[in-house]
Amino acid sequence: MAKPAHTSYSEDPKIDALVDETIARVADKWTLLLIEALEEAGPRRFSALGRDVEGISQKMLTQTLRQMEREGLVARTVFPEVPPRVEYELTGLGHELAEAFCGVWTWAEKNIGRIEAARAAYDERNS
């Protein structure tokens, strides 16, 4: 099967590459769930995020938060206390990305009945 040609929406290859990288990052389930948790609850400690995002391992939580920090989506703040307290929160970029993906949830709410009906019809035809 031939790979479909990449469609460019920009005349700047750097912009196209950034869009591709952002889609790949956000398509990662843990990134989306962490964005959702931080958007809903505000700044959170590592352990609280681990509880908020069901099923995420400490290793995956660490890796995902580091990648999100690298990309400017979360800020990590270390408080000079004993023992040190570390909190993560969405940056402006993270909030903007959360808003952009809020449309997916709105679409899902609006169309859940149609999607469930289509699935049931498909399952009926193919059982």
For 30-48, letters b (16+ CB in 10 Å) and e give bbbbbbbbbbeeeebeeee
Structure tokens at 68: 């999100």
> What does pTM read for this prediction?
0.72
Overall average pLDDT of the 6-15 stretch: 68
The confidence band for 4, taking pLDDT boundaries of 50, 70 and 90, is very low
So what's the pLDDT on residue 58?
95
Please give the pLDDT value at position 14.
79
Instruction: Please give the pLDDT value at position 12.
Output: 75
Whether 5 shows a pLDDT value over 90: the answer reads: no
pLDDT in tens, 83-106: 889 999 999 999 998 888 877 778
Domains of the chain: 13-125 (1.10.10.10)
Residue 125 has pLDDT above 90, yes or no: yes
Q: Which amino acid is at 32?
A: L
Residue 18 confidence (pLDDT) above 90: no
